[in-house]
């Protein structure tokens, strides 16, 4: 039998990520399946749209699994998880260098330094082989964390050419290096398979002892509210349909599955897109506050859909 991970009580996301689920964790807890982390019941966890991993780290603080599998289409993000898994000390070393260089500068110089690192990060892109681990990955992972911590609003946004284009954040005291947390994250990642690419690539890791959580890019509520540029390519309605098909496929395999998305009925009560797509499953709605929205006026109460293939409210 595979060795189990132990819960890592303080591990938390090391990146800020658009669509992060930190504020919904207590609601999600009420929707967990029975038998999570129990021998002979649910011993695997799979999350194919990992982003900052708020739910993954939350579960890792509480439960123990034999195996976890995380994935994302964002190559820079996956590179960063892989380097932390393989050589966290190198990432800590590189990030420490960036942190000291940042804090020894005055405010004006900090901004120039930010753009210097951003330019270097973008100029290095053509030489990066995302498929093959290399020593330069540690430096790149440190740059991803540094840029994420010091950029405006903690976004990770790239243009069509894959270049990071978020402006400087100008925050007084950004938390750049949290060494203890990076070590905790590395501990969580020890028993974790990390997949780069489309969410369908996770299907082979799912069996009837698996809990799968899908947190896809939101289907935009209105034409102006889309913020789906986490990576090149986008996520359109065809992708939401492909995901629903995979949901049904894994349901037939006997996995326990949970999926969240923003509720289109907030904007238009007639919009039953997800109700139709997931007809026959359990569809719950919980209040959520959207953190990042390009139209500030629309911040306010918005429900989140939680769709499961099992009855909820049992634990
Ligand atoms: C809503 S975010 C996930 C947020 C995450 N749960 C968190 O707590 O930070 C959606 C993620 O899906 C990724 N993504 C977009 N298209 C994808 C695809 N086709 N397959 C896998 N991941 C994809 C994006 O890069 C992004 O990280």
pLDDT tens column, 116-168: 999 999 999 999 999 999 989 999 999 999 999 999 998 888 888 889 999 99
Q: What is the pLDDT of residue 155?
A: 83
Q: How far is CA 215 from CA 39, 96, 187, 255, 301, in A?
A: 26, 32, 23, 16, 19
How many angstroms separate the CA atoms of 218 and 16, rounded?
17
For residue 200, the ligand 1 atom closest to its alpha carbon is: 20
In ligand 1, the atom with minimum distance to the C-alpha of 235 is 16
Say if residue 112 is exposed, middle or buried (CB neighbours under 10 Å; 0-12, 13-18, 19+). Answer: exposed
Q: Is the Cβ–Cβ distance between 125 and 137 less than 8 Å?
A: no
pLDDT at position 62, please?
95
Q: Which tens digit of pLDDT belongs to each residue from 48-107?
A: 999 999 999 999 999 999 999 999 999 999 999 999 999 999 999 999 999 999 999 998
Query: Nearest C-alpha to atom 27 of ligand 1 is from which residue?
Result: 51
Ligand 1 center to residue 83 CA distance, Å?
Answer: 19
Question: SS3 sequence, the chain?
Answer: CCCCCCCCCCCCCCCCCCCCCHHHHHHHHCCCCCCECCCCCECEEEECCCCCCHHHHHHHHHCCCCEEEEEECCHHHHHHHHHHHHHHHHHHHHHHHHHHHHHCCCHHHHHHHHHHHHHHHHHHHHHCCCCCCCCHHHHHHHHHHHHHHHEHHHCCCECCCCCECCCECCCCCCCCCCHHHHHHHHHHHCCEEEEECCHHHHHHHCCCCEEEEECCCCCCCCCCCCCCCCCCCCCCHHHHHHHHHHHHHHHHHCCEEEEEEECHHHCCCCCCHHHHHCCCCEEEEEEEECCCCCCHHHCCEEEEEEEECCCCCCC
Q: Are 196 and 50 in contact (CB under 8 A)?
A: no
Structure tokens at 19: 């669509």
Please tell me the pTM assigned to this model.
Answer: 0.92
CB distance 17 to ligand 1 below 6 Å = yes
The predicted structure's pLDDT at residue 231: 45
Question: Residue 313: pLDDT band by 50, 70, 90 thresholds?
Answer: low
Give me the pLDDT at residue 228, please.
44
Q: Tell me the pLDDT tens digit for each residue of 91-107.
A: 999 999 999 999 999 98
What is residue 294's predicted lDDT score, i.e. its pLDDT? 47
pLDDT at 110 over 90: yes
Our measurement of the distance from residue 123's CA atom to the centroid of its chain's CA atoms, rounded to an integer in Å, reads 25
Q: Give the distance (Å) from ligand 1 centre to CA of residue 52.
A: 9
What pLDDT was estimated at residue 258? Answer: 98
pLDDT mean across residues, the chain: 90
Q: Which two tokens stand for residue 140?
A: 């790149």
Query: What domains are defined for the chain?
Result: 22-73+192-308 (3.40.50.150), 76-168 (1.10.1020.10)
State the Cα–Cα distance between residues 4 and 15, nearest whole angstrom. Answer: 26
Angle at 213 between CA 130 and CA 313, to 5 degrees: 165
- Protein residue whose Cα sits closest to atom 15 of ligand 1: 73
52 lines ligand 1 (CB under 6 A): yes
Ligand 1 pocket, 48 CB below 6 A? yes
Ligand 1 pocket residue status of 213, Cβ below 6 Å: no
The reply to whether ligand 1 has any atom less than 6 angstroms from the CB of 154 is: no
More confident call, 147 vs 293: 147
- For residue 266 the two structure tokens come to 């907030």
User: Measured in angstroms, how far is the CA atom of residue 54 from the centroid of ligand 1?
Assistant: 12
Among residues of the chain, what percentage have pLDDT more than 90? 76
The residue whose C-alpha atom lies closest to atom 19 belonging to ligand 1 is 198
CA atoms within 13 A on the CB side of 163: 12
Q: Is the CB of 72 inside a 6 Å radius of any atom of ligand 1? A: yes
> Ligand 1: distance of its center to the CA of 100 in Å?
31
Closest ligand 1 atom to residue 74 Cα is 25
* Ligand 1 neighbour 73 (Cβ under 6 A): yes
Structure tokens at 4: 């189990």
Of ligand 1's listed atoms, the one at least distance from the Cα of 216 is 10
Task: Please name the residue whose Cα sits nearest to atom 7 of ligand 1.
Answer: 20
In this prediction, residue 302 has a pLDDT band, given cuts at 50, 70 and 90, of confident
Query: Could you tell me if the CB of 199 is within 6 A of ligand 1?
Result: yes
CB 264 less than 6 A from any atom of ligand 1: no
Q: Give the confidence band of 282 by pLDDT, cuts at 50, 70, 90.
A: very high
Higher pLDDT, 194 or 313: 194
221 falls in which pLDDT band (50, 70, 90)? Answer: low
pLDDT of residue 226: 46
C-beta neighbour count of 6 within 10 angstroms? 13
Provide the percentage of residues in the chain whose pLDDT is more than 70. Answer: 90
């Amino acid at each position: 039998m595979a060795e189990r991970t132990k819960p890592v009580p303080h591990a938390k996301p090391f990146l800020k990520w658009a669509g992060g689920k930190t504020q919904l964790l207590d609601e999600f807890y009420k929707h967990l399946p029975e038998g999570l982390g129990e021998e002979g019941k649910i011993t695997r966890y799979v999350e194919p749209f990992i982003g900052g991993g708020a739910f993954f780290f939350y579960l890792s603080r509480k439960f123990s699994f034999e195996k976890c599998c995380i994935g994302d289409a964002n190559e820079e993000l996956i590179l960063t998880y892989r380097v932390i898994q393989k050589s966290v000390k190198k990432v800590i070393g590189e990030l420490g260098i960036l942190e000291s260089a940042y804090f020894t500068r005055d405010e004006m110089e900090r901004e120039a330094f930010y753009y210097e690192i951003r330019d270097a990060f973008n100029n290095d892109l053509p030489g990066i082989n995302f498929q093959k681990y290399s020593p330069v990955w540690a430096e790149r992972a440190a740059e991803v964390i540094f840029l994420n911590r010091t950029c405006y609003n903690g976004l990770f946004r790239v243009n069509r050419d894959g270049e990071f284009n978020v402006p400087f954040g100008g925050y007084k005291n950004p938390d750049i290096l949290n060494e203890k947390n990076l070590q905790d994250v590395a501990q969580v990642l020890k028993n974790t398979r990390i997949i780069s690419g489309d969410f369908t690539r996770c299907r082979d890791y799912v069996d009837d002892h698996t809990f799968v959580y899908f947190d896809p890019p939101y289907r935009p509520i209105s034409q102006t509210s889309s913020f789906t540029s986490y990576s090149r390519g986008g996520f359109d309605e065809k992708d939401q349909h492909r995901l629903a098909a995979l949901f049904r496929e894994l349901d037939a395999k006997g996995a326990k599955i949970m999926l969240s998305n923003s509720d289109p009925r907030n904007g238009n009560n007639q919009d039953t897109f997800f109700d139709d797509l997931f007809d026959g499953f359990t569809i719950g709605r919980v209040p959520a506050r959207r953190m990042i929205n390009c139209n500030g006026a629309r911040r306010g109460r918005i429900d989140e859909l939680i769709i499961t293939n099992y009855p909820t409210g049992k634990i």
